[in-house]
Amino acid sequence: MQTLDKNVSGVPYGSGDIIDLSTAAHNLSVPALFEEAISRNEGIVAQGGPLVVNTGKYTGRSAQDKFIVKEPGSENHVDWKANKPFDPAKFDALQERVTDYLKGRKFYVQDLFIAAHPDYRLPIRVITELAWQNIFANNMLIRPTEEERADFKPRFIVLDAANFKAEPERDGTRTETFILLNFAKSLVLIGGTEYGGEIKKSIFTILNYLLPLQGVMSMHCSCNYGAQDDVAIFFGLSGTGKTTLSADPERSLIGDDEHGWGDDGVFNFEGGCYAKVINLSEKAEPEIFKTTSMFGTILENVVIDPKTRKLDLTSDALTENTRAAYPLEFIPNMDLKGRAGHPKNIFFLTADAFGVLPPISRLSEDQAVYQFLSGFTAKLAGTERGVSEPQATFSTCFGAPFMVHNPSVYAELLGKKIREHGVKCWLVNTGWTGGAYGTGQRMSIHYTRAIIRAALNGELDNVPTKVDATFGLEIPQECPGVPSDVLNPRDTWADKTAYDAKAQQLARMFNDNFKKYAEGVSESVRKAAPVVK
């Protein structure tokens, strides 16, 4: 941890005495925590041994209830246009109320690490009111050896009092729920929600603050490598195929969600996976499917028959955001070191429901930065009656809710890494072809896999290309295993005029969204924007 010891961020080491730990259970094993959770009626055991829990009112992140304490050490680094400030005095008062609430109660402590690279590894103490959340943290983070725990000094503390509800008028929160990050005190306070993902994403936010200050790129992406140590990174929002496409049986998986990219390569932040399991297919994703019947897995909001204890992974009766949290060891092709060299390829995945982007296109460095800042995908509008058009979604850096600095900080780091290491960059559309959603059809997963494989193998490096007139994308005209007419989206539309109109519509959306980044990027990046006629 030599780099972190320099304390370039101004963040002090966490203090273990923020709360009286005399009634806490320290570093219990997963079996012991399972017993605790069952005895406290926190969940039930399903067939095969996973623990099924119901997070109640909140089945996803409460993004509007997340705040960063505005204090002198970090305030000049935080992008306050994207992050909401919280008053330090209000934080101190709420911290005191939370610790008073836990006095005399039994709660749980796990001492863990985040970041697989030894120079950036961060000791995290996770304190939870619920036993199952301690299993969640143990699954998701990196587990120390007994020797490491004996001399454990937390750099950050995450205190999650799930059942404590804030009083907004008194505490300064927006609702009863709060996720508060205080970099001056090296402390995260969570309350009013049982959703386990708040713990995971708060810790990701911590690293998104610390690592860029040390010249390390923090990324919301999956990552794998092949037999020739050819590392690939996959950026993509929910529903674009980030997890599915990186889980290739012919390649080793480094991680499926959060990574850093330093001077000697990439590294996983986590020790586990937090996979969405709604409609999980045993055939398409056998490794992840298997974890849903393994002892040690936590299943959030998955419907279960209370008598037979059989799971119904197809049911969204509680939420569509059903999740499985399990350690990396449960996936057979995982590289448990969590580290590899510099990427040779970066894939930006988008599920374009407008049906106008090509299934693959080669990006210049400037285009890669433009796509990274845009973070485009499309949500389907079938959830609202009378709405037939897909809705464009732009999430800065493919992870807007977790980015602390101004987006230009992450974009500049990415551009620098691409340039230094000669990384090939690609935009891959896993969405619609032959028309927009409702008219066209979803891109074949077989074609997408063939496209990814060809790019990784260098089979697209010297094929003829065609530049798209609207988006300026360089489209390969040949790809093994993929019909040539599929590669050019305009050719797949019966009505070419309709395609041109839809392409212009999406181009305007890109340009309108990018206005907020224009002043912070170079002229060459601005010129990577689509052409609106």
CB atoms under 10 Å from CB of 355, counted, come to 29
In 101-177, the DSSP E strands lie at 107-114, 122-128, 156-161
| CA–CA distance, 401 with 403 (Å, rounded to integer) | 6
319 is catalytic: no
Q: Which of 66, 125, 220, 405 is catalytic?
A: 220
- Binning the chain into helix, strand and coil, the percentages to the nearest 5 are 30, 25, 45
238 is catalytic: yes
3 state DSSP class of 384: coil
State the first-to-last Cα distance of the chain, in angstroms, to the nearest integer.
53
How is residue 347 written in tokens?
A: 């894939």
153 is catalytic: no
453 is catalytic: no
Are 205 and 84 within 8 A, CB to CB?
no
248 is catalytic: no
66 is catalytic: no
Are 286 and 331 within 8 A, CB to CB?
no
Q: Which of 66, 155, 242, 424 is catalytic?
A: 242
Q: Which of 61, 70, 200, 344 is catalytic?
A: 61
3 state DSSP class of 398: helix
Q: What is the b/e burial string over 425-438, where b = at least 16 CB atoms within 10 angstroms of the residue's CB?
A: bbbbbbbbbbbbbe
- Identity of the amino acid at 426: W
Are 328 and 82 within 8 A, CB to CB?
no
| CA–CA distance, 531 with 147 (Å, rounded to integer) | 59
CB atoms under 10 Å from CB of 47, counted, come to 13
Q: What is the b/e burial string over 439-459, where b = at least 16 CB atoms within 10 angstroms of the residue's CB?
A: ebeebbeebbbbbbbbbbeeb
Cα within 13 Å of Cα(144), Cβ side = 22
Query: Left (φ > 0), alpha (ψ -120 to 50) or beta: where does 267 sit?
Result: beta
The residue among 497, 355, 353, 351 whose CA lies nearest residue 434 is: 355
Q: Which of 143, 155, 323, 417 is catalytic?
A: 323
291 is catalytic: no
Exposed, middle or buried, 15 (CB in 10 Å: 0-12/13-18/19+)? Answer: middle
| CA–CA distance, 154 with 419 (Å, rounded to integer) | 36
- Virtual CA dihedral for 126, 177, 513, 216, nearest 10 degrees? -10
Q: Strand pairing of 272-276 and 323-327? A: antiparallel
Which residues are bridge partners to 108 per DSSP? Answer: 25, 128
316 is catalytic: no
Q: Which residues have a catalytic role annotated?
A: 61, 201, 220, 238, 242-243, 257, 323
